[in-house]
Amino acid sequence: MITTDRLKSDIVELFELDQNTNIDNSEPLFGDGLGLDSVDAIELSIYLDNTHSITITNLADTQNIFASIDTLVEFINSTGEKSA
Amino acid sequence: MSRVFINAYASHSCVGADSELMQSIYAKKSGVKSDGEYISSKSVAIGKFNDIEFFDALSRATSQLLSSSSLKSFADTLLIVGSSVGGMATSEKVYFATGSYEQIDPALHTISVISDMLDREFKFKQSRSVSTACTSSANALILAHRLIKLGVYRSIVVVGADALCHTTVCGFDSLGVLSSSACRPFDIERDGMNVAEAVAAILLQDEMTDESIELVGCGASSDAFHITNPDPEAKGAIAAMCAALDEAGVDASMVDYINAHGTGTEANDSVEALAISKVFDKTSTYVSSTKAITGHTLGAAGALEAIVSCEVLKQQLIPPQSALKTQQNGDISLLKEPLSSCVKYVLSNSFAFGGNNTSLLFALPQQKSAKVAASKCKNFKIVSSAQIDSPLKIDSLNEKELVPKMMLRRRLTRLARIAIYLADQCSFRDGLIVFGSAYGELKATADITTAIFNKEPISPTSFQNSVYNTAASYLSLLHNNQNEIITISSGLKTSQDLLKTAALQATYHNRAVLIICAEALNIPKIDELDCKIDLLEQGVAILIEPTDDEAEVCNKKGSPHSPSSSLYDMLDIISNKKDGSIISLEL
């Protein structure tokens, strides 16, 4: 299980954001929201594999999963140790 | 201005040597094959030499070039090499065998290992090396064009050369863009690109022969959009193509064929097709990407595809788009079979990481040529200059002030931080940049090789940051600066060659140029590395502008010296000349 706060702090570290960056739980992580890009999407999939043993086989299918902190927390906690 | 003619060329790629290149292209016979050497976990297709080692191919192609030219030697010829990885494959072999950086020889690692080898064997008058990733040899051709046009040199050899290595194959894999079969540019079923190796050697001269093809126009630009993703509006690609047409005074409707960058990735092909459709009419201009045959030869691609462009003009035969079944980008004209046609003008595109765009326009020469002879030295005013000489100072920079946007600031490399600080000290925001570094962003390079060695996933951020022109590209992103950027990497004479390149760019464009030379050898296990490279983290910048005023003394005339550091020549200038001084620089 991962908490929302833990995921936020992992994301701040992973993407080298400023320590005090405030990410809204429902804010889009990509595009016009926080502003992550396609390279970050790959970094995020590596993080899921390394930290949560979740393998993403097709990045194109991750649009809904990577949408926001809320969707990502739900995905990690519902997928657990299984592969996506 | 002198006209610029391509009078000889030679190549080696995965389809073989010299004439095998066009035979394969017209026969739609790809040299790209499935391979398990670089990535064991899955099948990827790459373009590998069949029968020859990389450095032997380099020597053979250059020797073939000399024998097919009218020259007896290269004694009066300048060599400009374009390469994205230089001696990376050699360093990888050592590192993977020992698990340590200790045995790596810096002189065999750098980009300039290629020019060093060719210079030893063929004795060129001078040499320099350009490293702007996949536009490296296209930019080398642009510099050669300008040097001959201005009458500085009469004869220049451009060599595009990149060997296959784990860093590029695994690096592109980390971006998820490698195909398991030969790439299918512009096809609805395309699934990525192929990394490939090649050597392409081209002789450019100011004299026309019966066999000459003329290089009539060159364009370059920066996207200032993203380090790896092309600008979806294609503004940079359009600007580069239009600049090449403008220089030649040629209307877009006169271009019969475009050899596209066409890597076979969704991102490149859709943006390039958009750019081409905005400038050219599909009823008069055919397009194809020959990377379906040769693979993407990275730093060699510009020169290799320049040879293809010359051959299309000579054979009057437009290449088909190999592997095309169903075209996705309907706004450009692709052929499924070769087309015999009257071909007068051919454009060749190369685009690179950092949003570095180049377009070269080739033509069948019309009338006899005129030549000019120009002074090799020009005068420039030092507008401003800056220096940073300690890692501590770089650590203490107020980055939030320099780079307010967090999403840009977070990924800055060490070299980019130095470049941004120095540009700020020189009050530079917008304009031409020439950047130089002998070793590039070693931390990113080391992160990749270490990950490969440990069988860990490669960070795509490290891969995009490992490219030599990334630092200057971050600087252009910061200020939305869409002007040309050239990155030079000539080993210990990097700043010497930077000054010459800056003098050329400033003279050619009649504009100010910011020159930055920097090194950032802050790799994590620095004590393993310091046995061979002097510990160094510093940078120097000089903003120059052309002037008609007299210089006090001509700088560095006479025989080239052997500098002790890659920054030496620029540090020498700023320690002896104040801002406002007039200096004379060789082009």
User: What CATH number did the domain enclosing B457 receive?
Assistant: 3.40.47.10
Clarify whether B134 is annotated catalytic.
Answer: yes
Tell whether B372 is covered by a domain: no
Give Cα B241 distance to the centre of its chain: 17
Domain co-membership, B282 together with B419: no
pLDDT at residue number A43? 94
* Cβ–Cβ under 8 Å, residues B382 and B544: yes
Please provide the DSSP assignment of chain A as one string: ---HHHHHHHHHHHTT--TT----TTS-SBTTSS-B-HHHHHHHHHHHHHHH----S-GGGGTTTTS-HHHHHHHHHHHTTS--
Instruction: Give residue B563's pLDDT.
Output: 76
Q: Looking at residue B529, what is its pLDDT? A: 47
- B339 with B389, same domain? no
Q: Is residue B10 part of a domain?
A: yes
For the record, the structure tokens of B459 come out as 């960070």
Say if CB B259 and CB B332 are below 8 A apart: no
What's the total number of domains in chain B?
A: 2
pLDDT tens for residues B147-185?
999 999 999 999 999 999 999 999 999 999 999 999 999
Containing domain of residue B233, as a range? Answer: 5-363
B336 and B444 belong to one structural domain: no
Which amino acid is residue B349, in one-letter code? N
Locate the domains of chain A by residue range.
4-18+28-79
Pair B284, B324 in one domain: yes
Same domain for B386 and B337, yes or no, is no
pLDDT at position B484: 97
* Mean pLDDT score of chain A: 90
Q: Cβ–Cβ contacts within 10 Å for residue B135, how many?
A: 34
Of B311, B335, B363, the last residue of a domain is B363
Residue B319, in any domain of the structure: yes
* Total-model pTM: 0.94
My answer on whether B342 and B390 are in the same domain is: no
Give 10-residue mean pLDDT values along chain B (587 residues): 96 98 98 94 94 97 97 98 97 92 87 97 98 98 97 97 97 95 97 97 96 97 93 97 97 97 96 97 96 98 98 98 92 97 97 97 83 83 93 76 91 92 96 96 92 94 96 96 97 95 98 96 50 67 95 56 83 94 95
Q: What is the pLDDT of residue B526?
A: 44
CB contact under 8 A, B176 and A59: yes
Structural domain contains residue B154: yes
Is some CB atom of chain B closer than 8 A to the CB atom of A22? no
B289 domain residue, yes or no: yes
Q: Which of B41, B228, B231, B407 to mutate to test the interface with A (most CBs of A within 10 A)?
A: B407
Residue type, B263: T
ipTM of the complex: 0.89
CB of B404 within 8 Å of a chain A CB? The answer is no
**B281 & B395 share domain:** no
Parallel, antiparallel, or unpaired: how do β-strands B377-388 and B537-546 relate? antiparallel
Question: B431 and B535: one domain?
Answer: yes
- Over residues B90-142, the pLDDT tens digits come to 999 999 999 888 888 888 999 999 999 999 999 999 999 999 999 999 999 99
- B191 close to B108: Cβ distance less than 8 angstroms: no
Residue tagged active-site, from B145, B261, B310, B426: B261
Same domain for B454 and B348: no
- Same domain for B60 and B181: yes
Mean predicted confidence (pLDDT) in A9-22: 93
Active site residue B509: no
Domain shared by B324 and B436, yes or no = no
Q: What are the DSSP calls for B430-451, one per residue? A: SSEEEEE-SS--HHHHHHHHHH
User: What's the pLDDT score for residue B302?
Assistant: 98
Provide, as residue numbers in chain B, all residues whose Cβ is less than 8 Å from the Cβ of A49: 457
Last residue of a domain, one of B296, B329, B363: B363
- Residue B125 is predicted with a pLDDT of 97
Q: Is A39 on the interface with B (CB under 8 A)?
A: yes
Inter-chain contact B176–A49, Cβ cutoff 8 Å? no
For B197-239, give the DSSP string.
-EEEEEEEESS--TT-EEEEEEEEEE--S-SSSPPTT-HHHHH
Question: Could you tell me if B86 and B170 lie in one domain?
Answer: yes
